[in-house]
Amino acid sequence: MKRQFISLFLFAIVFGSETHGQKLCSTPDSFVGECVERIKCSIFNLGHRRSSKYMTFLENSKCENSDLVCCREKYIQQSTAQIQQSDDVSRQASSNDDTKLNLRNCGLINQDRISRGNQTFLGELPFMVRLEYRKADGSKQFKCGGSLVTPRYVLTAAHCISDGLFSVRLGEHTVDMDPDCKYSPSGRRRCAPPVKDCNIEEKIKHSEFSLQKKINDIALIRLSEPVQLNNIDYVNTICLPLDNDSTLKEDEDQLLVAGWGRDESLQTTKSLMKALIPRQQIQKCQESFSLTDITNTNAICAGGKDQVDTCSGDSGGPLFYKGKLYSGARYIQYGITAAGFIHCGSLWKGETLPALYTNVVNYVEWIKSNMH
C-alpha cells in the first residue's frame, strides 16, 4: 500500500505563533520577523536618508492594526538585561562547548527556509546527521540517522551502534550532491558548504539497552574532534528538554520526524524529508509491538495515522518540535526513533501502525553523565 505523506504547512504554524511576546510577521523582502517598536529595530535607526525607497519599505513594514514594524530577529535591539544574559551564556559556553547542551544558538528555526511540504529546504534542519558503516566486504553504506547535540556529541539509538559504524556525516541534504546547491525562483544560486565526514572517538550505548524489549534504546557518539559551528545555517546543534519549560507538554498532539528514510517503494530517498505525525497513547504501541516494558516514562508512541510513519532508514533520528527556549521558539528533540515496521504504512486491525521513540526527557541525566 502506498505511503501517503502529510503536507506540512509549518510556515502557517510558525506564523500563528508568538515569540518574545510579539507576533511573527513577514517583512517586505519576505523574511520572517517580529512586530516590535520601530526604535527597537536597528535597520530603521541607521541614519538612512529619508529616500522614497526607504519610506516605502518603512510603510510596508508596519504590522497590521498597530504602530509596530516587522523586524528581522537579527536587527532587533536587545535590552541591557538580555545582552547581559547572552554574554553570561556565551562565556559559560565558550569554557566547555564540547559537552555543553543547549548552546545559545541550538535549534534555531531557519524561518527563511521553512518548506511547506515534506521535502525540506537546504539548511532547514542543520542538526540532522547520517551514520556511515563499513560492511564485511569493505563497502560502505548509510543506515541510521542521529542529531548533533553538542559540537562533540551525536545522539542516536543504541541499536544503531555496531562495530561497523565508523563515521558521522554532517551538513547533508541531497545524497550524492556535494556541494548541495539550490536555485531561487529568480534563478539565484545558493550553495551549502561541502559535507563534513567526522571520525568517531567513542561509541556509548546504554548499558541496559534491550533490543527485544525495546527499552533504553539510546546512545551517544563522541566525535574525534569538535565540530566548528561557524556556519550554523548548515551545521548546528538541536536543543534538548532540560527544564520544565522545554519539556513536551501533555496536550502536544503532533510532532516532527525527519530523515533520509525509505519511501513507499522501500527506496532510500535522495533528499532530507520531514513529516508531521500524531502523538498516540502508549497503549497503542504496547499492543502493536506486543511489549509490556515500554511506558510513558521511557517511550513516546507516535504516527499510525494517514499512513505516515518513519521507515527503517530513519532509525536513530530525532522526534522533535518547536518549543520555548531562550525566550523564543527553537527546535527541541523529544524522542529518538527506536522501532517501526519494515513496510511503511503497515496495517494492524485496519489502522496504520505507529512507531516507537525513546523518550529523551527520561534520559537527560544519562546523557549528561556520559559526556566528558
CATH assignment of the domain containing 171 = 2.40.10.10
71 and 114, same structural domain? no
Q: Does the pLDDT at position 365 exceed 60?
A: yes
Q: Give me the number of domains the chain comprises.
A: 2
Cβ-contact 263, 243 below 8 angstroms: no
Taking residues 264-290, report their average pLDDT.
Answer: 82
* Assigned domain for 134 exists: yes
Cα–Cα dist 100/371, whole Å: 9
Instruction: Give pTM, 2 decimals.
Output: 0.74
Residue 144 structural domain:
96-372
Residue 351: the pLDDT is 66
Q: Annotated active-site positions, please?
A: 159, 217, 315
What are 351's three cell numbers? 489502522
172 and 213, same structural domain? yes
Residue 11: the pLDDT is 31
Q: Does the pLDDT at position 182 exceed 90?
A: no
Cα–Cα dist 23/78, whole Å: 17
Cβ-contact 217, 336 below 8 angstroms: yes
Residue 119: the pLDDT is 80
pLDDT in tens, 24-64: 677 777 666 788 888 888 777 655 456 777 788 888 888 87
302 and 208, same structural domain? yes
137 and 69, same structural domain? no
Q: Are strands 196-205 and 32-36 parallel, antiparallel or unpaired?
A: unpaired
Least confident of 45-59, 217-231, 318-332: 45-59
